[in-house]
Amino acid sequence: MIATTGQTARDFSIKTLAALRGAEAQCTRCPLFRAATQVVPGEGPARAPLMLVGEQPGDQEDLAGKPFVGPAGRILDRALAAAGIGRAEVFVTNAVKHFKHEMRGKRRLHKRPNAYEIERCRWWLVAERALVRPSAIVALGATAAHSVLGRATGIGKARGQAFPLADGIVAFVTIHPSYLLRIQDRADKEREYRGFVADLQRARQVLADRPAVRRMRRAVADVERVG
């Protein structure tokens, strides 16, 4: 079992996603807010059974204030449909809520968040988890895996595994859909896309076996009471 944080739902005075979005909009926990257009909070049903955690907003997400609305979001939507998962049952968010970038001429190019920025923003992911209480989380990419699991994790090594978290959620790790945009070879891209869909289907299996999820949560609660 992975204890990703010492905080629990009881530690947060914020009780709704709307209130959380308002608090996130005021965030200055790390310097990234200074260059971003706005915060990009998570989005989806308040009791979504599945949470998808990306790495950080991209250029289009930063302008729109919504997660996964750019090219990577369109790939994600297609893969969710292929995996038999309705977007309406998914809460989508990012490990880091502000767009980190560097200027290249007039273009804003994505820059990977560092460990400090991931940890400072993890507070908000913990709050989202406490409010939504999903049965499963899929971490999309290395930054998301670091935030969800609480440590740097290699994608290749972690793929295909189910990670029970301390709050009873089951986590999975896969690629970020933006990775598929960078693959030039058609056969390689199709192979990686099929693997991505298969990873999402593993999470769907957890959702299908809700009694097992409830048993896991009870077991985690029993361990915490004994501790």
The rounded distance, in Å, linking the Cα atoms of 227 and 211 is: 24
How many structural domains is the chain composed of? 1
Range(s) of the domain holding residue 215:
9-226
The pLDDT > 90 percentage for the chain reads: 76
CATH number of the domain to which 120 belongs: 3.40.470.10
- Is residue 3 situated within a structural domain? no
Q: Give domain status of residue 39, yes or no.
A: yes
Which stretches within the chain are classed as H helix?
17-25, 59-64, 71-82, 115-132, 142-149, 155-158, 177-182, 186-208, 210-226
Report the pLDDT averaged over residues 30-52: 95
Write out pLDDT tens, residues 154-184.
999 999 999 999 888 999 999 999 999 999 9
Query: 87-132: per-residue pLDDT in tens?
Result: 888 999 999 999 998 888 888 888 999 999 999 999 999 999 999 9
Residue 4 lies in a domain: no
Tell me, yes or no, whether 1 lies in a domain: no
CB atoms within 10 A of CB 214: 12
What is residue 227's predicted lDDT score, i.e. its pLDDT? 46
State the pLDDT confidence band at 215, using cuts at 50, 70 and 90: low
For residue 2, being part of any structural domain is answered with: no
The model's pTM: 0.86
* Exposed e or buried b per residue across 115-153, where buried means at least 16 C-beta atoms within 10 angstroms of its C-beta: eebbbbbbbbbbbbbbbbbbbbbbbbbbbbbbbbbbeeb
Average pLDDT (40-52) is 95
Domain assignment present for residue 72? The answer is yes
Q: Is residue 125 part of a domain?
A: yes
**Angstrom distances, CA of residue 147 to CA of 3, 96, 201:** 12, 9, 22
Contact 164, 50 (CB under 8 A): no
